Structure 1
Amino acid sequence: MSEQLGLREQHKRRTRDTINAAAMSLFFEHGYDSVTVADIARQAGVSVATVFNYFDTKEDLFFDEGDPLQAALVDAVRCCAPGDSVLLALRQQVLYQLTAGRTDADADEVARFHAAIVESPDLQRHEQHLQLERRQVLTRALAEALGADAPPLSAELAAAQYLAAEAVIGAELRSRLLRGQPLAHARAQLEPLIDQVFSTLRTGLGPMVRVGAPR
């Protein structure tokens, strides 16, 4: 029985991967908004109903790696040893999150992924929805890591600040990739910005005094 279950799970995994691969190929070739679920089903050799057995929405097909990436972010916090900096652990996650763990060998895929989001309002809205989910999950992980003695709302504020920092860095990465900069160069040139952003998170914004002559 266990062997049958194992084979069944392998078949389901292969079917899911086939559907996702077909979807991403079509999205990158024709643009996300121009592709229908029927197109994806036809490309994958399955029915539309089968597609929806594995993915609730078309957006879920595009952001299929959202759950694993969210889990990696939470694990980075939970795997911190007592006394270690959670902020440093999050800093080390940024580029992994923004490239879905892709290496420079997959640079074209990363660039096409970000370009598709820029071109589709539907994907931009879904990305914002995913950010709200990530904020809730990250807040819980940070609350657990920081402990009951942490100031009120510190975990929620830290989660919001990390995600804001990730968004700023992600916008710069996206801009560089859309200008045709190789991923390896973009990574290297983003490191000083990442250091600056996380230094600001560590030290705080300060009083933010307005410059210029008084009115």
Structure 2
Amino acid sequence: MEETTGRRERKKLATRQAILDAARPLFLERGFDPVTIAEIAEAADVSVATVFNHFRTKEDIVFWNQPADERALADAVRSAATGEPVVDAVRRYEEQRLAAKQEPQAMTGYRRFLVVLAGSETLRARDRWIEVRRREELHAALAETLGDSTTAVEVELLAGQLVAAHRAIDTVVRRGVLAEDRPAKVHRAAMAAVDLVFGALDVGVRGYRAAEQRGLVDAPAG
């Protein structure tokens, strides 16, 4: 029974990947909007119903990793080591994310995604919605992690600032990638953005009532 279940799951994952692999060149060649689900199904050698079994909408094929993207900042907060300020945990996540993205293959894939994204208002709308969901997930994680020691207003403010920091860093990356800058140049610019936004955030967070005592930032040296 276990072997049968494993086989079924492997087949399901293989079909899902086949749909993604079939859709990608179609979107790159013609843009997102003109391509139909029927064309994707034909290219993947599956039925239209099978495509919808794996992806609720056509946008989901592009944003196949959306659930993980929405949770990423929240997961960073929840993964903070004991006593580690949540802002530091999110900064560490951003640095790790940028390190992974600077690989040439990752840069090429991301550039292709951005080209398709730029050509479709439908996808840009979904991109904006993901940011809303990212903030909601982050807000929940902050409230859960910081507990009663932090007020609802402070949690809301911090969630907004961390999402804005993420977006500012990603904007720098997107500009460099679309300009076809070398990976090292994109990474340097993005890391400079990390230093800037988290430096500003650190100063701002210190303005909260006894912020360093409630796990938001480290206490200032000296």
Interval of TM-score (by shorter of Structure 1 and Structure 2): 0.7 to 0.9
Q: SS of 1:115's equivalent?
A: helix
Would you say 1:203 and 2:203 are equivalent positions? yes
Larger RCO (CA under 8 A, 6+ residues apart): 2
C-alpha distance in structure 2 between counterparts of 1:45 and 1:99, whole Å: 36
1:87–1:148 CA distance, 2 compared to 1 (3 A):
same
Aligned match of 2:124: 124
Aligned 8 A contact 1:107 1:182 in 2: no
The residue type equivalent to 2:149 in the other structure is: D
Matched residue type, 1:186: V
Gap change, CA 1:96 and 1:65, over 3 Å in 2: farther
CA separation of 1:202/1:152 partners in 2, compared to 1, >3 Å: closer, same or farther?
same
Preserved CA contact (<8 Å) 1:104 1:184: no
Deviation per residue, 1:124-175 (Å, 9 max, x gap): 1001111111111111111111121112232222222111122222222211
Contact residue 98 and residue 170 of structure 1 kept, 8 A: no
Query: How has the CA–CA distance of structure 1 residues 172 and 124 changed in structure 2, closer, same or farther, with 3 Å as cutoff?
Result: same
> Are the equivalent residues in 2 in contact too, given 1:95–1:187 (CA < 8 A)?
no
Asked whether the 8 Å contact 2:16–2:54 carries over to 1, the reply is yes
1:35-68 CA deviation, whole Å, 9 max, x = no partner?
1111111111111111000111111110001112
CA distance in 1, matches of 2:75, 2:35: 34
Q: Is the 8 A contact 1:77 1:90 kept in 2?
A: yes
Relative distance call for 1:147 and 1:163 in structure 2 (3 A) is same
CA distance in 2, matches of 1:170, 1:24: 22
C-alpha displacement of 1:89: 1.6
Residue equivalent to 1:187: 187
CA–CA separation in structure 1 for the residues paired with 2:41 and 2:56? 14
Alignment match, 1:6: 6
Equivalences for residues 84-163 of structure 1 within 5 A: 84-94=84-94, 103-163=103-163
The residue identity in structure 1 corresponding to 2:84 is: D
Q: 2: distance between equivalents of 1:101 and 1:147?
A: 33
1:50-100 Cα deviation digits (max 9, x unpaired) = 100011111111000111233443322111122102112212323665798
Contact 2:107/2:177 (<8 A) preserved: no
Q: Does 1:51 pair with 2:51?
A: yes
Q: Which residue of 2 aligns with 1:171?
A: 171
Q: Given the superposition, is the C-alpha separation of residues 96 and 32 from structure 1 closer, same or farther in structure 2, using an over 3 Å criterion?
A: farther
TM-score between both structures, scaled by the size of structure 1: 0.87
Q: CA offset at residue 11 of structure 1?
A: 0.6
Instruction: Tell me the TM-score normalised to structure 2 length.
Output: 0.84
Evaluate the alpha carbon distance shift between residue 60 and residue 99 of structure 1 in structure 2; reply closer, same or farther with a 3 A threshold: farther
| Separation in structure 2 between the aligned mates of residue 200 and residue 61 of structure 1, nearest angstrom | 37
Question: Against the structure 1 CA distance between its residues 19 and 4, is the aligned structure 2 distance closer, same or farther, given a 3 Å change threshold?
Answer: same
* Consecutive unaligned residues in structure 2, runs of 5 or more: 207-222
CA contact (8 A) 2:142 2:155 kept: yes
Q: Label 1:97 to 1:50 Cα distance change in 2 as closer, same or farther (>3 A).
A: farther
Match of 1:94, as an amino acid?
Answer: E
TM superposition shift of 1:6: 1.0
How far apart are 1:15 and its partner, in Å?
0.6
RMSD after superposition: 2.3
Residue equivalent to 2:15 = 15
